[in-house]
Amino acid sequence: MLTKLRCRFIGLSVIAGLVALLVLPLRPSYSGELESERDEVVPLAFVGSARETGTLAPIPDVQITATMDNRKLMVRTNGQGIYKLTPYFGIDVPPDRVTVSCTKDGYETVDVSRRQISSAAANVLIVAECLLAPKH
């Protein structure tokens, strides 16, 4: 009886997986981006990556924190070490009032470089690249 139920469950799981593949559109993923926000213009956005010193290999699952005064917003890098952070600290907050930091267990932050670029998707777009070194 248990084997019959297990076979039925596996069969239903396979069918559900095949239906999902046919129904869900195949498209590239957008790191840190919800489908509903692709057309929104945000006042301030930070994008970038976390890389290891020496090899410049991407580091996944790095915690990226935007801090202003006593408020914080955190995201993590994806599998390619990329992140997007759209903190809302107010409509007229200058980007230099927001501090970006990068942390991961087993690593120490060597540098966080920032540069501002123009973008149609954000009033202010800051590229903040994190360079981390393994702790020995």
Q: What is the pLDDT of residue 113?
A: 94
Distance (Å, whole) CA 49 – CA 68: 21
Write down the pLDDT at residue 13: 43
pLDDT of 117: 84
Per-residue pLDDT of the chain (136 residues; tens, 9 = 90+): 545 544 444 443 434 443 344 444 444 444 454 444 455 667 788 899 999 999 999 999 999 999 999 999 999 999 999 999 887 877 778 888 999 999 999 999 999 999 988 766 667 888 999 999 999 8
The position carrying tokens 């869900």 is 24
Nearest to 130 by CA among 64, 31, 84: 64
| Residue 129 C-alpha from the chain's centroid | 13
Domains of the chain in sequence order:
39-134 (2.60.130.10)
- Look at residues 97, 96, 44, 91 and name the one whose alpha carbon lies nearest to residue 69: 97
Q: What is the pLDDT of residue 40?
A: 64
pLDDT at 91: 76
